[in-house]
Amino acid sequence: MDGPIPSRLAPVFHGLLRIVAALTFMTHGTQKLFAWPVMEAREPVALLSQFGVAGVLETFGGLLLLLGLFTRPVAFVLAGEMAVAYFMAHIGRSFFPVLNGGEPAVLFCFIWLFMAAAGPGAFSLDGRRTQAPPA
């Protein structure tokens, strides 16, 4: 038995996971760089700060992952960024992510590690770049 979703659709869901996670990830970057979307108006962070660098990685790295371009190396770098974020900003409050507010950092870290290992899935520019041209 294949389960409720046929296994032949795995690459499609793999690609959808990359796209949805990248869109969600990008909003963390745009909040930092452009103060959008935010609940209350505030100033963007300084570009040459730790949060500014994180915003650039999240916005533009997220865009590359959304497109599925250079997926493996970009995902690896972003997984590292999320690991650093977790250990710098969250673990000091509690060991447990549910108590220290670090669940998004942990989940993004492991989603990006998966993408670094497994590649982009369906709907990616990487997939189009590696296909042989028609004869």
In a domain, 134, yes or no: no
Task: Confirm if 26 and 59 have CB atoms less than 8 A apart.
Answer: yes
In a domain, 131, yes or no: no
pLDDT for the residue numbered 1: 55
DSSP state of 134: P
In a domain, 55, yes or no: yes
In a domain, 17, yes or no: yes
* Number of domains the chain contains: 1
In a domain, 128, yes or no: no
pLDDT in tens, 107-116: 999 999 999 9
Give the domain range for residue 63: 9-120
134 has pLDDT over 70: no
In a domain, 132, yes or no: no
pLDDT in tens, 10-28: 999 999 999 999 999 999 9
Distance CA 130, CA 109 (A): 26
The sign of the dihedral angle between the CA atoms of 94, 97, 103, 106 is positive
Q: CB under 8 Å to 101, separation ≥6 — which residues?
A: 90, 93
pLDDT for the residue numbered 132: 56
In a domain, 133, yes or no: no
pLDDT band at 133; cut points 50, 70, 90: low
In a domain, 90, yes or no: yes
Whether the full predicted model's pTM is greater than 0.85, yes or no, is yes
pLDDT in tens, 31-73: 999 999 999 999 999 999 999 999 999 999 999 999 999 999 9
Q: What is the dihedral of CA 24, 56, 50, 25, to 10 degrees?
A: 10
Task: Confirm if 56 and 33 have CB atoms less than 8 A apart.
Answer: yes
